[in-house]
Amino acid sequence: MNHAIQRVALAVALIFGFAAAHSIAATFRVTTRIYEGASVESAAVHEILFDEGLVYDLPQINNRFVTVFDAAQKRVTILDRKTQVRTTLGTDQLIKVSAQARAAAKTPEQQERLGLMAKIETSNRGGYVIRFGSFEYFTSTQSPGDTSMAADYGRFADLAARLNIVRHLGPPPFGRMTLNQYVMSKGELPLETTLTVRRGENVQRFRATHALAELTDADRKRIHEVQGMLMLYREVTLKEFPNE
């Protein structure tokens, strides 16, 4: 994996860190655009489609991998368009692995570094901020009108964060999960999220925008395509599943 792709993967892993998955029922779309530094060009774009209890995470710039979150069946499936294989993980497995990562932090220093002790603060910019270790997240919010959308988005993003732990993408997301739980409890969704990573004199910034909309006919066609992939692709273990 080259350095540019690594940075984008890190950005996606860091931004998608948002609360436990059970019922997901609302029907809508969230378009997430991720920017690195001061760039006005998107480093990554994700169309996240919520439909009939399933959530489809469809990357747009590099669309090789598709992820389907099925809370009712307690599973997450990752599909590889290139090799036409899929791998399936139980949500119980994702929760167990994240619980083990949490339990492994024995000292206050480890807990601080992982964000286990991080607290939500109200920002003078009108949103919320959380700081831990080398990381600082700020998010402004939007009210969807239907609070179930906020709950559904939070549950999806929680599973996405836990999946990142299993796939070793980005740091453990406990701090940002706390932030998301707080936002979700207010019946809101993130509007714009800024991540600042400080390591000595090196500072990296990522920004993500989250646009809420209704599903379109084109979205329905993409959902139908992914449903066909779920039926046709060969199942492999996570260890056998390709890495980008």
Residue 153 binned pLDDT confidence (cut-offs 50, 70, 90): very high
pLDDT for the residue 115: 82
DSSP letters for 88-151? EEEHHHHHHHHHHHHHT--SHHHHHHHTTT---EE-TTSSEEEEETTEEEEEEEE--SSHHHHH
**DSSP letter, residue 43:** S
Give the CATH number of the domain where residue 76 resides: 2.50.20
CA distance 25 to 57: 16
**DSSP letter, residue 171:** S
pLDDT average, residue stretch 16-37: 72
Whether 63 is covered by a domain: the verdict is yes
The parent domain of residue 208 ranges over 3-235
**Cα angle: 105, vertex 107, 111; to 5 degrees:** 55
User: pLDDT tens across 33-78, in order?
Assistant: 999 999 999 999 999 999 988 999 999 998 999 999 998 899 999 9
Task: Output the CA–CA distances (angstroms, integers) from residue 46 to 95, 96, 162, in the order listed.
Answer: 24, 27, 18
Residue 174 binned pLDDT confidence (cut-offs 50, 70, 90): confident
Torsion of CA 205, 7, 100, 183, to 10 degrees: 40
3-state DSSP percent of the chain in helix, strand and coil, to 5 = 35, 35, 35
**DSSP letter, residue 162:** H
Strands 234-235 and 202-213: unpaired
Whether 241 is covered by a domain: the verdict is no
pLDDT average, residue stretch 144-148: 87
Residue 3 binned pLDDT confidence (cut-offs 50, 70, 90): very low
Whether 53 is covered by a domain: the verdict is yes
Whether 240 is covered by a domain: the verdict is no
Q: What is the mean pLDDT of the chain?
A: 87
pLDDT average, residue stretch 105-114: 84
Q: Does residue 88 surpass a pLDDT of 80?
A: yes
CA distance 3 to 63: 18
Containing H/E element for 175?
A: helix 174-185
Whether 102 is covered by a domain: the verdict is yes
Q: Does residue 180 surpass a pLDDT of 60?
A: yes
Whether 243 is covered by a domain: the verdict is no
Q: Which of 13-22, 44-53, 219-228 has the lowest mean pLDDT?
A: 13-22
Q: How many domains does the chain have?
A: 1
pLDDT for the residue 220: 96
Whether 10 is covered by a domain: the verdict is yes
CA distance from start to end of the chain = 6
pLDDT for the residue 5: 40
pLDDT average, residue stretch 153-158: 89
Nearest to 48 by CA among 14, 24, 72, 19: 24
Whether 139 is covered by a domain: the verdict is yes
Q: Which phi-psi region, left, alpha or beta, contains residue 209 (left: φ > 0; alpha: ψ -120 to 50)?
A: beta
Q: Which of 86-100, 101-115, 137-151, 204-218 has the lowest mean pLDDT?
A: 101-115
Tokens of 35: 């920017």
Q: Does residue 10 surpass a pLDDT of 70?
A: no
% the chain with pLDDT above 70 = 89
Provide the angle, in degrees to the nearest 10, between the axes of the packed helices 147-166 and 174-185: 170
Residue 141 binned pLDDT confidence (cut-offs 50, 70, 90): very high
**DSSP letter, residue 186:** T
Q: Does residue 32 surpass a pLDDT of 90?
A: yes
Give this prediction's pTM.
0.85
